[in-house]
Amino acid sequence: MNGPVELRIGRGNLDRQAQLKLLRAVASFEVIKGLIVLLAGCAILLLVHRDAGDIADDFLQLLHISPDHHFAQVFLNWADTLTDTKLWAVAAAALVYAALRFVEAYGLWKARAWAEWIALISGALYLPFEAYKIIQHATPLHVSILIVNLAVVLFMVQLRLSARKARRAQHPG
């Protein structure tokens, strides 16, 4: 490309510096998501070779939640079904998910098209679930998550369309 691609948003142009700032903000968010999932995966490993039912019961007591409540009972029953194999599988899935987030963050930080595609596709995959969650029970948190994710997806769509337009302008016909 001959010069920086400009992203049109509304009536103004978003120059390359602003694009990089937005991409790096999204990249930072992806790193945070990856770290949270990685930490959760490590916490899951703390349950290996331990009685998950006892730990779940202790957790409910710590939160002052009566085990007589329906959801507490569901949680305790679920904890009783956990095996070391299941825990390792969940921890491995968390590691893979975190690695994907870190790779995506690196690519977004470096303004790589492949990372924009990953952000676009993965963000778009979440949208139906987030919309369903709002239909089920709208909370400010759920609405905020949907809005942020939708903004990221639309930003990535705009970047990809802008890049496509720039390629066509360079290579007409």
Instruction: State the pLDDT at residue 3.
Output: 42
| pLDDT of amino acid 8 | 44
Average pLDDT rounded to a whole number, residues 87-92 = 95
Task: Return the pLDDT at 40.
Answer: 95
**pLDDT tens by residue, 5-43:** 444 444 345 688 999 999 999 999 999 999 999 999 999
pLDDT in tens, 41-85: 999 998 899 888 888 888 889 888 888 888 889 988 888 888 999
User: Mean pLDDT across the stretch 103-124?
Assistant: 97
What pTM was computed for the model?
A: 0.78
82-91 LR contacts (CB < 8 Å, sep 24+): 82/47, 82/52, 84/48, 84/49, 87/44, 87/45, 87/47, 87/48, 87/52, 88/45, 88/48, 90/41, 90/44, 91/41, 91/42, 91/44, 91/45
* % of the chain residues with pLDDT over 70: 91
